[in-house]
Amino acid sequence: MKTTLPSALGRVLLNRRRLLQGGVAAGAALALGGPMGRAMAQDKVNLTVWAWTPKTQDMANLFMQKYPHISVTVENVGQGAPHYVKLRNAVTAGTGLPDVALIEFNSISSFKALNALADLGPHIDPAIAEKFIDWTWTSVTEGDKVYGLPWNTGPMALLYRADIFEQYGLTVPETWDDYAEQAIKLAQAAPGKYLADFAVDSGWTAAVLWQAGWRPFKTEGTNIQIRINDEIAKSWANYWQRLIDAKAVDTKPGWTTEWFAALDDGTYSSWVTAAWAPVLMEQSMTKSFGKWRAAPMPQWQPGGKVASNWGGTVFSAFSTSPQLKEAAEFATFMSTDPEAARFWLTDVFLFPVLDELIEDETLMGHPYEFYGGQAVNTIFAEAEAQVDPSFEFAPFQDYVNSQIEDNFAMAVAGNGTLADAFDRVQDAVVIYARDQGYTVT
């Protein structure tokens, strides 16, 4: 990251009266492009952006065409943990941070707690809030402070194998009770095949529990309420424990080559997942091409219309950046420029955050051959409007995630139950929060 030169206005410090007093000499200097003329031009600004998403530099290049005085360099320092480790190391060191970085929704509170995020509010048009899906704007703001601009989301739905459902007489589940019934039916009819895999994944766990009404954290300053092992969590744990014990779902690790192969070859015939998943499936699956379909996320109550969100990112600027105005211009462009926003959906399959695009029937209605010609985006668009914005992540969500994954893995391996795992996570997180200086209630 290169520190920008002082602004032209700041360097010259000319007001109208002084300029007039300069008379002919000043006019000549301006006409000849001398020092005063050069000073009035916009200074070149260099922005460094950390992002792991594909083709981000392509869109940065489009931004630079519209803002030629701003040069943007996109750096991929890693995806997932490596990205956040480098950001936190730079925060701790007090140097080396980019001007702007991609941050997932579940990490905003963590960086806010470190006082690392800049308030973009003074540098953006307040009317921009009206462009975004309500819950996404709520997630990045606190009062009139704006800690990032939403870029993409992960509304959830059920992806399932139409061919396997037809072969074994399965019905698309409308409720989670239906889902359990279909899981048991398939396991009994075809041993070795599963409706799903209960892969230990803290992000997925939080997302599905979000839909169920789980609200594990409420933070006000240094006061935090922690209810990780509440009644909702225990009920959810018992639900999945019954399916695991009945061998109606598998418990293999997720995100491996073998795991994607199991989805492709029909070992697993459904995945409750987010709107960004279809592109991963298209890239990694060939046998099941055209056999997948999408349906709304199963509901905990019959007739319910509640969805959830898994993942999604925002562009945030860091308080150490000397060029917050330009950082805000970049974030605004990436989030709201119509050409860029359509590109992210159609070319990279990042689900949009703009009401305008969600309401675009042509865009949402595009059929996908991988899904047998189904316009799967219509399903995710409906889910986007059904996300409850009241969910809060912890200001130390990384630690919470690690505890969930470690303790769930123990439970899946036979060391206690998932309900026991929630108790262990609760105890560990309470201790950690107090060690970090929080008052726990």
pLDDT in tens, 375-419: 999 999 999 999 999 999 999 999 999 999 999 999 999 999 999
CB of 259 within 8 A of CB of 235? no
SS3 string of 43-94? CCEEEEEECCCCCHHHHHHHHHHHCCCEEEEEECCCCCHHHHHHHHHHHHHC
**Which letter does DSSP use for residue 201 in this model?**
-
Distance, CA of 298 to CA of 305 (rounded, Å): 9
Indicate whether 228 pLDDT > 90. yes
Ramachandran quadrant class, 115 (left: phi over 0; alpha: psi -120 to 50; beta: rest): left
CA distances to 117, 258, 344, 350, 395 from 56, rounded to whole Å, are: 21, 29, 9, 12, 28
Side chain identity at residue 155, one-letter code: P
Per the listing, tokens 């800049």 go with: 118
Domain ranges for the chain: 1-40, 41-153+311-363, 155-309+372-440
Sign for the CA dihedral angle at 265, 267, 269, 275 comes to negative
- What's the mean pLDDT in 342-358? 88
Distance, CA of 205 to CA of 202 (rounded, Å): 5
CB of 103 within 8 A of CB of 314? yes
Greatest alpha-carbon span in the chain: 94
Residue ranges of alpha helices (H) inside 175-230 are 176-189, 202-212
Indicate whether 36 pLDDT > 60. no
The pLDDT assigned to 346 comes to 81
Nearest CA among 226, 181, 220, 233 for reference residue 417? 233
The pLDDT assigned to 338 comes to 85
Distance, CA of 423 to CA of 228 (rounded, Å): 8
Lookup: tokens for 329: 């211009």
Indicate whether 367 pLDDT > 70. yes
pLDDT confidence tier of residue 1, bands split at 50, 70 and 90: very low
CB of 422 within 8 A of CB of 237? yes
Q: What is the pLDDT of residues 123-145, one digit of tens each?
A: 999 999 999 999 999 999 999 99
Nearest CA among 252, 247, 242 for reference residue 176? 242
pLDDT confidence tier of residue 278, bands split at 50, 70 and 90: confident
Distance, CA of 284 to CA of 270 (rounded, Å): 16
**Which letter does DSSP use for residue 318 in this model?**
B
CA distances to 187, 203, 217, 252, 437 from 180, rounded to whole Å, are: 11, 21, 29, 18, 42
Distance, CA of 161 to CA of 370 (rounded, Å): 11
Side chain identity at residue 313, one-letter code: T
Backbone angles phi, psi at 151, to 5 degrees: -120, -50
Backbone angles phi, psi at 132, to 5 degrees: -95, 150
Indicate whether 17 pLDDT > 50. no
pLDDT confidence tier of residue 5, bands split at 50, 70 and 90: very low
Distance, CA of 391 to CA of 145 (rounded, Å): 19
Q: Fold for domain 155-309+372-440? A: D-Maltodextrin-Binding Protein; domain 2 (3.40.190)
Contacts (Cβ under 8 Å, ≥6 apart) of 120: 146, 147, 148, 149, 317, 324, 327, 328, 331
The pLDDT assigned to 295 comes to 98
Q: What is the DSSP string of 103-145?
A: EEGGGHHHHHHTT-B---GGGS-GGGGGGB-HHHHHHHEETTE
Indicate whether 372 pLDDT > 50. yes
Indicate whether 35 pLDDT > 60. no
pLDDT confidence tier of residue 302, bands split at 50, 70 and 90: very high
Same fold? 41-153+311-363, 155-309+372-440 = yes
Lookup: tokens for 134: 């309500």
CB of 135 within 8 A of CB of 211? no
Indicate whether 28 pLDDT > 60. no
Beta strand 145-146 with 149-161 is unpaired
**Residues linked to residue 71 through DSSP beta bridges, in sequence order:** 46
- What's the mean pLDDT in 164-192? 98
Kindly report the CATH number that applies to the domain delimited by 41-153+311-363. Answer: 3.40.190.10
